[in-house]
Amino acid sequence: MRRDLNLLRDILLQVEATDRHPHEVTVFQMPDRDPYQVYHHLRLAKEAGFLKVEFLSGDPPQGCVLDLTWVGHEFLDNARNDRVWQQVATKVAKLGGSFSVSVVTEMLAATAKKMAGLD
């Protein structure tokens, strides 16, 4: 299964927007998305250090998001703005369509800085 940075961003945005008690544990769901893709991207987000997640076995397997990490917040601070995200996505597509998360993160930061007049 290929990594989908749009789905990763959507997951992080949904987690950030969730208004829940810090000790409340619920299964993370995105009803409009394939549950196997969501599970895969939850695992990737955990491995990247973006989320704290506990996983449940089953068919389909599921994840309970415990928290968004500092690294996850940092990524979202640059990826949240739709204009920044679209500019980076367009650039990535023109350059071949695939870059590591660390490179995309740097591109997001550079684009955000430029838009803020800091570059």
Write down the domain spans for the chain.
Answer: 5-69, 81-115
**Cβ proximity of 55 and 61 under 8 Å:** yes
pTM tops 0.75, yes or no: yes
**Confidence band for 22, pLDDT divided at 50, 70 and 90:** low
The alpha carbons of the chain give a radius of gyration, in whole angstroms, of 15
Beta pairing partners, 51: 68
* Per-residue model confidence (pLDDT) at position 54: 92
pLDDT, average across residues 4-31: 86
Distances from the Cα of 105 to the Cα of 58, 68, 99, angstroms: 33, 16, 10
What local confidence, expressed as pLDDT, does residue 32 receive?
94
